[in-house]
Amino acid sequence: MNAPEGHSLLLDRGNLKRRRRVSATVGGASTVAALLAVGVLVVVVGSVLLKGLGALSLHFLTTPTALFGESGGGISNAIVGSGIMVGLAALMAIPVGLLVAIYTTEFASPRTAHPIRFVLDVLNGVPTIITGIFVYGLLVAGKHQSGFAASVALAIVMLPIVARTAQEVLSLVPATLKEAAHALGIAPWRATVRVTLPTAAGGLLTGALLAVARVAGETAPLILLSSIFAPGVLTEPGEALASIPIFIFQASESPSPEAHTQAWAAALILIAFVLLLNIVARAFYARSRKRMGA
Amino acid sequence: MAPETRTQYQEDLEALEASALGGLDLVSAALGRTMEAVEHQDVELAQLVIADDDRIDGRYLEVHQALITLLATQSPVATDLRLISALLHVLKNVERMGDQCVNICKVIPLTGNEPPADEEMVRLILAMGKQTRTLISQSKRAFEDRNVEMARDLVRQDDVVDNLNRECFGLALEIGDDPDRREWAMTMLLAARAIERIGDNAVDIGEQVAFVVTGLFREFEDASHPSA
Amino acid sequence: MDIRHPIESPTVTEQNPEPQADPRTGLGDPRPMVSVAGEPEAKPAKRSREVGNVALQGLSAYYGSNHAVRGVSLAFDSAKVTAIIGPSGCGKSTMVRCINRMHEEIASARSEGKVLLDGLDLYDPRIDIVAVRRSVGMVFQKPNPFPTMSVIDNVTAGLRLTGASRGELEDRGREALVGAGLWEEVKDRLKGPGVGLSGGQQQRLCIARALAVDPEVLLMDEPCSALDPVATLRIEELIAELKQRVTILIVTHNMQQAARVADTTVFMLDGELVEVGPTDKLFTNPDDDRTEQYVTGKFG
């Protein structure tokens, strides 16, 4: 083919076909990988759904676990127990995590803030069984298991998640807003409370929700700290409480097929809860980012 | 210091200054030819000068337009602004000078094709013309060099022209009773007057030089404030 | 409460527990003298020439070892607009930020010398830094309304966060919006989000917000550089109106803007004060050759 006058450089030199092939291959491979990743979640959720739907019923949700050997029963005590323990953990971890984040982003010098961030990241990576053992030695050894001890362990797991997310979000608040507040003659602490925090509110909530979602299914500490409990719905944190992860664990070890189905159903509840929290958390985060970009 | 910025603008401004001042060369040449026409009563040469004034007018329009454009597009300030303002004045002066030459050339045919009635008057007028040409080139030099002293000196040079003009006037008064001679003398006075106006325009250019350099506009000398 | 005006609000704000320094003796209660600005309900009228006088004496500012402002001494005319021009990095923003003590917010920053407001050194250790910023307001380059607050809450943010009554807030908010030329445009959407306004409106909102605390001096750091030409011109008109109430210092990159709005212009270079004078003189016949070079665009 003859090139138009002076445009020989634009001519295809024969590697156009090859480039197209490579492009298509890479594109195809990444699409497959993405589908695979999504597929895994779909398969997990799907199988839990299929296997657990059978046992899901109002009765299941409102009846405490059956005693050993008996049938029927549900997970009402597990739901209540999980709720109390996670709730207590959140009550402890979220304020502390927030304050740590506020301290490192607003008031600490870079020299202090950096090590704190590092420590939090390390804490985030500590295997939860170790956290469990630590709290066991602190609160259970020589005494007895309790929902409170489990809460403490869960709070320790939650803390770095809350703190790090809060830190990220707070540092996203444009410095110009803080400047504007200070330039108006608003005292720094007031500026933080009335300007920075509200602006970051969405993101802070996200961090809290994600932390809750994470520990809702945390099992290792619970095995050590709150796995042997009395039957019926218990609400006293001083005693060991039931929980959904422990229920799943114990039900799946039982010989009865009904228990197995119940385990799947409980897993379904747990997954639904976690998914819901994640979705809500992301929504808040998106709204928060939009606000700060404005 | 940072590298030169706005070089295009600077070049444009310099070119326009050269063009405006070049108009003074045109005027000087026109005046020279005018004097020749007066000396030899050359009507055809006079016609040529009149026609050629179109070139001076053209120069005026062209440079004027370009300066206005520069004002609109470049937002000049300080020295640049004063320079542009001064060049606008200079252009006007140049155009006026050209018109005065035309005025002189217009009266030449009226003197007829006979020899001049009074040699002395003609001589005076030619002297005025020569002196005024010196004035014109000095004003051009003063502007180019931004030399305020040289600009002020234009007043002194212009005084020479003014004195010659007065002498002409005196001679005309004593030209006698002959109506033809009187008519001729009156006509020559018009010419002298026109040359004197050209000189004044050159002094005005000198005042513009002072304005560009000092930022102040002062009349060197005018009718209401004669120098001591 | 700002450092100049008499205490008349019954609520004492937490920021200023100690009495403010008297400029004459340096001690005791503030002078009970300023005629206009004391009354919160009064329509803001022309200020007396006794307030809003800013003077710098040997001001130097540093970022670590970088000497950004070098020994500048300068007095700004009260109730006038002064523009500060100069190439990037010449220290003009830094100098201005020293006046409301925002410069020291940056980690490695420090300063020397004096900044006098009506004769009172703002760097005196007894001065409450938060109160300084009530008397010396600031508008920034990019409009920065608080995103979680409505229009009216934004305007009254400086007042609200220091304890004032509801009615007072609304009145002063309206006054400030009128003063900023924004009232007509937002009076029907006072509860709408502050960030829902256009760029030019947001900047005028920020100006209203700064005005609401009734400062004596308003610092503007390139306030129009993020705005379109029409919005810019509106704000310039506003500046011309405002200068009767507040002394205005405006840092600008735009020389035509300085030429349009300012009564006095200051030219800075490499942290030093090069020339200060009436604007028309600086732009038609500056004294210093460096000023000449800069304004005609030979560098910068």
Strand pairing class (C66-76; C217-221) = unpaired
C230: Cα separation from own chain's centroid = 22
To the nearest whole Å, the CA of C296 is away from the closest chain B CA by 6
Q: Which residues of A touch C206 (CB under 8 A)?
A: 180
Report the CATH fold assignment for B7-214. Methane Monooxygenase Hydroxylase; Chain G, domain 1 (1.20.58)
Strand pairing class (C66-76; C54-63) = antiparallel
The predicted-structure confidence for C134-171, as pLDDT tens digits, reads as follows 999 999 999 999 998 999 999 999 888 666 678 888 88
pLDDT at C4 over 80: no
In whole angstroms, give the CA distance from residue B89 to residue C240: 34
Q: Is C212 helix (H, G, I), strand (E, B) or coil?
A: helix
Residue-level pLDDT at A26: 95
Using CB atoms and an 8 Å cut-off, which of residues 84-143 of chain C contact chain B?
A: 87
The predicted-structure confidence for A108-157, as pLDDT tens digits, reads as follows 888 888 899 999 999 999 999 999 999 999 988 888 888 899 999 999 99
In whole angstroms, give the CA distance from residue A248 to residue A245: 5
Tell whether A174 is within 8 A of chain C (Cβ): yes
Which amino acid is located at C57 in the chain? Q
Are the CB atoms for A186 and C162 separated by under 8 Å? Answer: yes
Cα–Cα distance list, A43 to A37, A248, A267, B26 (Å)? 10, 19, 14, 95
Decide if C8 is inside a domain. Answer: no
In whole angstroms, give the CA distance from residue B28 to residue B130: 10
- Average of pLDDT values for C4-13? 40
Taking each helix axis from N to C terminus, what angle separates C199-212 and C229-242, rounded to the nearest 10 degrees? 20
Using CB atoms and an 8 Å cut-off, which of residues 9-68 of chain C contact chain B?
A: none
Cα–Cα distance list, C178 to C212, C241, C242 (Å)? 10, 12, 11
Tell whether A181 is within 8 A of chain C (Cβ): yes
User: Using 50, 70 and 90 to split pLDDT, how confident is the model at C14?
Assistant: very low
Q: Which residues of C touch A174 (CB under 8 A)?
A: 144
Decide if C46 is inside a domain. Answer: yes
Which DSSP letter does residue C194 get? Answer: G
User: Using 50, 70 and 90 to split pLDDT, how confident is the model at C298?
Assistant: confident
C62: Cα separation from own chain's centroid = 21
**Structural domains in chain C (count):** 1
Decide if C168 is inside a domain. Answer: yes
Q: What is the pTM of this model?
A: 0.79
Among A180, A191, A195, whose Cβ lies nearest the Cβ of C140? A180
In whole angstroms, give the CA distance from residue A265 to residue A75: 10
Decide if C7 is inside a domain. Answer: no
Q: Could you identify the residue written with the tokens 């006038």? A: C80
Q: Are C144 and A182 in contact (CB < 8 Å)?
A: no
The predicted-structure confidence for B65-81, as pLDDT tens digits, reads as follows 999 999 998 889 999 99
Concatenating the DSSP letter of every residue in B143-175 gives HHHT-HHHHHHHHHHHHHHHHHHHHHHHHHHTS
In whole angstroms, give the CA distance from residue B148 to residue B133: 19
Decide if C4 is inside a domain. Answer: no
The predicted-structure confidence for B155-189, as pLDDT tens digits, reads as follows 999 999 999 999 999 998 888 888 888 888 888 99
Q: Are C133 and A292 in contact (CB < 8 Å)?
A: no
Domain with C29 in it: 19-295
Residue-level pLDDT at C158: 87
CA A165, A167, A172 angle in degrees (round to 5)?
Answer: 100
Q: Comparing C173 with A75, which gets the higher pLDDT? A: C173
Tell whether B33 is within 8 A of chain C (Cβ): no
User: Using 50, 70 and 90 to split pLDDT, how confident is the model at B112?
Assistant: low
Are the CB atoms for A98 and A166 separated by under 8 Å? Answer: yes
| CATH code of the domain containing C260 | 3.40.50.300
Decide if C130 is inside a domain. Answer: yes
Lowest mean pLDDT among A71-75, A253-257, C232-236: A71-75
Decide if C12 is inside a domain. Answer: no
Neighbours of chain B (3+ CB pairs under 8 A): C
Element (H, E) at A64: none
Give the full edge-to-edge strand order of the sheet including C54-63: C66-76, C54-63, C109-117, C120-121
Element (H, E) at C115: strand C109-117
CB atoms within 10 A of CB C249: 27
Decide if C1 is inside a domain. Answer: no
Per DSSP, helices labelled H in chain B are: 7-40, 43-74, 78-107, 119-145, 148-173, 179-214
Is C5 exposed, middle or buried, given 0-12, 13-18 or 19+ CB atoms closer than 10 A? buried
Residue to mutate among C285, C289, C290, C292, with most B CBs inside 10 A, is C285
Element (H, E) at C75: strand C66-76
Q: What residue in C sits closest to B78 (Cα-Cα)?
A: C284
